[in-house]
Amino acid sequence: MAATTYAEGQPTAATYVEPARRMTLNGWAVIVIFLPPALLLFTVFVALPMIEAGWYSFFNWDGYGPPQKFIGLKNYGYLVGNEVFARALINNGLVIVASLLVQLPLALGVAMTVAGRMPGAVWFRMIFFLPYILADVAAGLIWHFMFDGDYGLASTITGALGLQPYFLLASKDWAFSAILIVILWKYFGFYMMLYIAALQGIDKTLLEAAEMDGATPFQRFRHITLPLLGPMIRLSVFFSVVGALQLFDIVVPLTGGGPFNTTHTMVSFLYYFGLTRMRIGFGSAVGVVLFLICVTFTIGYRRLLMRDD
Amino acid sequence: MTDAVATGAPAPAATYDEPSGRAPRGLTVILMFAALVVLAGVVLLPIVATALGGFKELGELHSNPIGLPSVWVWSNYWSILTSLRYWQVLGNSLLIAMLTVALTLALASMAAFTFAHLRFFGDRFLLNYIQLGLLFPVATAIVPIFIKVRDLGLLNSYWGVILPQVAFSLAMAVLLLRNGFKQLPIELLDAAMMDGCGYFKYFFYITLPLSGPILSTVAVIAFVGSWNGYLLPLIVLNSESRYTWTLGLMAYQGEYITSWQLVLAFITLMILPAILMFLMAQRWIVAGLTAGAVKS
């Protein structure tokens, strides 16, 4: 980095009076040298692509040459009537519902038991967190094996019950439940860790005082622990929803969107129906919709629910 | 929100207990412990079954998918460990992840330092501009990113993966580092300036050495994100010699789709580095990944 530039920016005598307050030549040198690389990279690969997505989405474009066939909002129109996309939206919604109703309560329950001095608590925490550090594609493949009707856990179960092999991932009605199971398995440990951190920040004297006043364990949980966990719970809900909206990696190794396109998410829809078919305009339109959902949710949620956190 | 996990450093082994500091006792403990053991078994079962499956013949995998192998077959693992592709995809992933971490740390810490200590026209605006990156995931812009990477001639190159990864990790990294830098006592800066130390020297000799925990938090997040990344490498890299391990894994599975025992051995060997690293640096990784999330 710019180690040789110290000299030209040495503070002058005047700066000794009010250091760090008045802008000096040295300060300007920092701004001119330290900011542009980050700003440039961010602009080229984050800001511009998002603007371009909006622009491309008005075109029927295969990505070669400049976009020329302007078709207005037609790409968005295709989306409205697209059954696979509707199903993808529902699937993203299902992930959110499952996260909020099953994953977070489970994570909180487990956190309550392993945040304390339960024997082996440290080991349990480590085991439950372990799936989180695996890549989604690896987790997906591992479970692809588990669900395999010929070779996996599924075959053990059907075998033990004397049933025909059953292929969960090939079932139109149940394949997405399989994906939900994998998500639950992989991510609940992360939320458990967040809750443990929050639980350990709770002032124990509050709980002691309540116990002395005769509060039952449930009352202590309901009226002390839970309210004090409020900020962390709101934060974990936020992560769950944002994570659910961008779900992709785990779908590919499990079902690849099949069977009969019933297990797509918005991002896998974008990938399979936009990018791999080089329908750049259409794929961009999906990206814009996803962008609008993410931004609306993020800003709305932070304004409404996380104002005081 | 920032109080829950106070630092990026390993958290002290604090505990959350029932009041009066005594551990829960008796039947409750036994029941809870039993439930935890069952849950731990469920969590570990797929991973253990995968590792064991790599030691089986296909036939045994069919008749005995999740138990111990009756005959331990080492050839599955051995054939992968002696193949070029295994080491190649690991090397590619490692190179991409390390360059991503280095570049993220360099660019983000420089920008964060500027935002932390210097007031100038438009500083709030530029900070908010970079923070926009927190609002949406890379997937939303993946189509134009593909076009951009292609037009820049970076398709099938490491930089085509690294640069967008860094760009998308900047928002969070700048936020975390700026907060971290601002927590250093301001008197340090005043004193340093008084002694004629310019901002650059201050940055390299004071700010960075004193910001180990927050820098490591950012590094852990960037490394894990890059190492486990799939979507970006998928659209950028198209020759197998450049594949990251996640792409290599999917390619291998596609190739040996009928030989689960090989695929299982391959998965096991692929996740082994992550698991070993997790076991060795468990506290740092957990603290990094959770603190990073909490502090944003």
CA-to-CA separations, A303 to A142, A230, A293, A300, A307, in angstroms, rounded: 39, 16, 15, 5, 5
Residue A176's closest CA among A251, A266, A83, A286? A251
Chain B residue closest in CA terms to A294: B136
Percentages helix, strand, coil for chain B (3-state, rounded to 5) are: 75, 0, 25
Mutate to test the interface with A, among B136, B224, B226 (most CBs of A within 10 A): B136
Per-residue pLDDT, B8:
38
Whether residue B146 is predicted with pLDDT greater than 80 in this model: the reply is: yes
**Which of A84-93, A182-191, B117-126 bottoms out in mean pLDDT, i.e. has the lowest?**
B117-126
Mean pLDDT of chain A: 88
- Cβ atoms B165, B232 nearer than 8 A: yes
Tokens representing residue B278 in the block: 């997790």
What is the band of A127 on the pLDDT scale with cuts at 50, 70, 90? very high
What is the band of A12 on the pLDDT scale with cuts at 50, 70, 90? very low
Which residues in chain A have Cβ-Cβ distances shorter than 8 Å to B140?
A: 50, 53, 246, 287-288, 290-291, 294
What is the band of B7 on the pLDDT scale with cuts at 50, 70, 90? very low
Better-scored residue on pLDDT, A277 or A307: A277
CA of A137 to nearest chain B CA: how many angstroms apart? 7
- By three-state DSSP, how is residue A278 classified? coil
Whether residue B239 is predicted with pLDDT greater than 70 in this model: the reply is: yes
Per-residue pLDDT, B158:
96
- Express as a percent the part of chain A with pLDDT over 90: 64
Per-residue pLDDT, B6:
37
DSSP alpha helices (H): ranges in A148-174? Answer: 153-160
As a whole number, mean pLDDT of residues B235-250 equals 95
What is the band of A208 on the pLDDT scale with cuts at 50, 70, 90? confident
Per-residue pLDDT, B190:
85
Q: Residues B69-94: pLDDT tens digits?
A: 988 999 999 999 999 999 999 999 99
As a whole number, mean pLDDT of residues A98-102 equals 96
CA of A136 to nearest chain B CA: how many angstroms apart? 7
d(CA A241, CA A238): 5
**B46/A142 touch (CB, cutoff 8 Å), yes or no:** yes
Which residues in chain A have Cβ-Cβ distances shorter than 8 Å to B118?
A: 23, 27, 30-31
**B227/A141 touch (CB, cutoff 8 Å), yes or no:** no
Per-residue pLDDT, B25:
63
- Cβ atoms B246, A138 nearer than 8 A: yes
What is the band of A10 on the pLDDT scale with cuts at 50, 70, 90? very low
Say yes or no: A165 contacts chain B, CB-CB below 8 A: no
- Cβ atoms A264, A91 nearer than 8 A: yes
- Report the amino acid identity of residue A125: R
Go through chain B and tell me how many residues it has.
296
Whether residue A18 is predicted with pLDDT greater than 90 in this model: the reply is: no
Better-scored residue on pLDDT, A116 or A51: A51
Residue B192's closest CA among B110, B117, B119? B117
**B140/A290 touch (CB, cutoff 8 Å), yes or no:** yes
Cα B134 to chain centroid, rounded = 17
Per-residue pLDDT, A253:
95
d(CA A243, CA A108): 18
As a whole number, mean pLDDT of residues A187-196 equals 94
Q: Nearest by CB to A23, which of B106, B120, B264? A: B120
Which residues in chain A have Cβ-Cβ distances shorter than 8 Å to B264?
A: 145
- Cβ atoms B5, B293 nearer than 8 A: no
Chain B from 81 to 110: CB within 8 A of any A CB? 106-108, 110
Q: Give CA angle at B176 (B170, B182), nearest 5°.
A: 125
Chain B from 177 to 236: CB within 8 A of any A CB? 186, 189-190, 193-194, 196, 198-201, 203-204, 224, 227-231, 234-235
Say yes or no: A149 contacts chain B, CB-CB below 8 A: no
Neighbours of A153 (CB within 10 A): 17
Per-residue pLDDT, A46:
95
Q: Name the strand (E) or helix (H) holding A69.
A: strand A69-70
Q: What Rg do the C-alpha atoms of chain B give, in angstroms?
A: 24
Tokens representing residue B6 in the block: 């106070």
- Cβ atoms B213, B114 nearer than 8 A: no
Q: Residues A250-264: pLDDT tens digits?
A: 999 999 998 999 999
Q: Nearest by CB to B65, which of A153, A210, A220? A: A153
As a whole number, mean pLDDT of residues B35-49 equals 95
Q: Give CA angle at B97 (B93, B103), nearest 5°.
A: 150
What predicted TM-score, i.e. pTM, was given to this entire model? 0.89
Q: Name the strand (E) or helix (H) holding A59.
A: strand A59-60
Chain A from 185 to 224: CB within 8 A of any B CB? 185, 189-190, 193-194, 196-202, 204, 207-208, 210-211, 217, 220
What is the band of B143 on the pLDDT scale with cuts at 50, 70, 90? very high
Per-residue pLDDT, B129:
95
As a whole number, mean pLDDT of residues A46-73 equals 92
DSSP alpha helices (H): ranges in B184-281? Answer: 186-194, 199-202, 208-210, 212-227, 231-236, 245-255, 260-280
- Report the amino acid identity of residue B158: Y
Whether residue A61 is predicted with pLDDT greater than 80 in this model: the reply is: yes
Whether residue B21 is predicted with pLDDT greater than 80 in this model: the reply is: no
What is the band of A178 on the pLDDT scale with cuts at 50, 70, 90? very high
Which residues in chain A have Cβ-Cβ distances shorter than 8 Å to B17?
A: 116-117, 204
What single-letter DSSP state applies at residue B197?
Answer: -
Chain B residue closest in CA terms to A309: B1
Whether residue B23 is predicted with pLDDT greater than 60 in this model: the reply is: no
What single-letter DSSP state applies at residue B118?
Answer: -
Go through chain A and tell me how many residues it has.
309
Peptide bond before A67: cis, by omega within 30 degrees of 0? Answer: no
CB pairs under 8 A between A and B: 357
CA of B274 to nearest chain A CA: how many angstroms apart? 7
Strands (DSSP E) along chain B, which ranges? Answer: none
- Cβ atoms A257, A269 nearer than 8 A: yes
**B65/A155 touch (CB, cutoff 8 Å), yes or no:** yes
Q: Residues B165-223: pLDDT tens digits?
A: 999 999 999 999 999 999 999 888 888 888 888 899 999 999 999 999 999 999 999 99
Per-residue pLDDT, A307:
74
d(CA B22, CA B36): 20
Most distant CA pair in chain A, distance: 89
- Cβ atoms B267, A174 nearer than 8 A: no
Say yes or no: B136 contacts chain A, CB-CB below 8 A: yes
Which residues, 6+ apart, have CB-to-CB distance to A224 below 8 Å?
A: A202, A206, A207, A210, A215
**B271/A5 touch (CB, cutoff 8 Å), yes or no:** no
Whether residue A14 is predicted with pLDDT greater than 60 in this model: the reply is: no
Chain B residue closest in CA terms to A152: B65
Whether residue A16 is predicted with pLDDT greater than 50 in this model: the reply is: no
Cα dihedral B144, B149, B153, B156, rounded to 10, equals: -130
Mutate to test the interface with B, among A4, A21, A34 (most CBs of B within 10 A): A34
Mean pLDDT of chain B: 88
- Cβ atoms A145, B265 nearer than 8 A: no
Which residues in chain A have Cβ-Cβ distances shorter than 8 Å to B163?
A: 41, 44-45
Per-residue pLDDT, B17:
55
- Report the amino acid identity of residue B153: G
Which residues in chain B have Cβ-Cβ distances shorter than 8 Å to A45?
A: 145, 148, 163-164, 166-168
Per-residue pLDDT, B67:
85
- Report the amino acid identity of residue A184: L
Say yes or no: B113 contacts chain A, CB-CB below 8 A: yes
Q: Name the strand (E) or helix (H) holding B123.
A: helix B123-131
Which residues in chain A have Cβ-Cβ distances shorter than 8 Å to B14?
A: 200
